[in-house]
Structure 1
């Protein structure tokens, strides 16, 4: 039976990998990572210079990313076939393979779709990683929660009305999957009365990092790796 080890890479800075993930990646004979076709991939960028010279690299290229809406039935069908195919390939391998995953594998990580399919077909180990949002709120220099604040995490892909309703009810708020959803997220936070307190962190802990007030951001240049933060204002000593 193959052994599949998923190494969480953290928010983007290679120095924020765990000691265990660093050791496993440097010693791996076979490395697999997700990427968009034609791109080197963020996961591969993070481990640049860490791999063994003889390491076999397996680029798992998504069949579709933003070319068609997630709501399109074709999207789900294409992605299901992609995960099915790579599950078969990984399960058939002899020995170990290390799969790289940005952030933490079990927090909106693509590896979750392989993990559920690999059960009973391979030995699976998951190495946690620092979630991207934790890297972002630390580089912002603004604590995200105080006292009894309840933190809410929302995907920017939600309908605008849902974003506004949940934002209005939240103490501290993190909005992930921002990117092209930024205009919608900004309108929703404005409707909830939270826009002036919101920060946009682009490429947190990575080259090109930028931290700005969301109200000052231009939607047209928002990158894929961007998170919106609304710090809580709860009980303080």
Structure 2
């Protein structure tokens, strides 16, 4: 018998936002794997740390934060055989994922490499979008509103029509793209009522009106904006 591959959604940062199912699996598996950006500690492991029983084997997957897909592919190409060796030996492996495994999650790349050969279970997690809405105390949508999620890494000629067509909007992965996206939202008349959220549920959380921010933002930041007619959503921070 082979081991089971688990993709565990850990939520946006607060260790208490794990689901009961993720917690149970996390404490029972003999092997854990997690992404770790080069030169920094793993956020996924930090979220899971209070719940780890100790004594588990750990596989750190070094990830280069780059728009170029090649380094990321190489990291998962290298990690997949290591994880496969444990699974083939009958050891379950839990891959720790910030937020949700299939919502811009790194687990989807390991899933593509391993799920056709080993039993696999994906445990969903609280996404940063939901956490940001809760922290801002403003709903994402109501009634017939459609929520549009966009990565800030897209160029303006793609972002602009998508934003113009959106009712309720979340723009993720701000980082070095923040000032450009902020300028675009100002041009489209969406600054009033837009919310900026940074490191939600983590240490250093900041949630404030977008109009009150500067021109710099970390990668783990997002903007929530609304251009529909629901008055309950149009409100700013309480």
Q: Describe how 1:58-77 pairs up with structure 2 within 5 A.
A: 58-62=59-63, 64-66=64-66, 70=67, 75-77=68-70
Contact 1:142 1:231 survives alignment (8 Å)? no
**Partner in structure 2 of residue 133 of structure 1:** 129
Give the C-alpha shift of residue 197 in structure 1. Answer: 2.3
Please list the CA deviations of residues 87-127 of structure 1 after superposition, one character each: whole Å capped at 9, or x if unmatched: 11111212111110011101110110110111322221111
Q: Describe how 1:144-223 pairs up with structure 2 within 5 A.
A: 144-220=140-216, 222-223=217-218
Q: SS of the residue aligned with 1:47?
A: helix
Inter-CA distance 148–162: structure 2 relative to 1 (3 Å threshold): same
Please list the CA deviations of residues 120-154 of structure 1 after superposition, one character each: whole Å capped at 9, or x if unmatched: 22221111111111001111011111221111111
**Partner in structure 1 of residue 28 of structure 2:** 27
Distance 2:209 2:230 in 1: 24
Distance 2:157 2:192 in 1: 19
Q: Describe how 1:111-130 pairs up with structure 2 within 5 A.
A: 111-130=107-126
Contact 1:32 1:60 survives alignment (8 Å)? yes
**Partner in structure 2 of residue 7 of structure 1:** 8
Residue 92 (str. 1) matches residue 85 (str. 2): yes
Distance 1:181 1:187 in 2: 10
Q: SS of the residue aligned with 2:53?
A: coil
Distance 2:142 2:208 in 1: 21
Distance 1:143 1:120 in 2: 38
Distance 1:41 1:204 in 2: 17
Give the C-alpha shift of residue 233 in structure 1. Answer: 3.6
Q: Aligned pairs, how many?
A: 228
- Which runs of 5 or more structure 1 residues have no equivalent in the other structure? none
Residue 228 (str. 1) matches residue 223 (str. 2): yes
Distance 1:181 1:154 in 2: 12
- Which runs of 5 or more structure 2 residues have no equivalent in the other structure? 233-238
User: TM-score under structure 1 normalisation?
Assistant: 0.90
Distance 2:166 2:27 in 1: 41
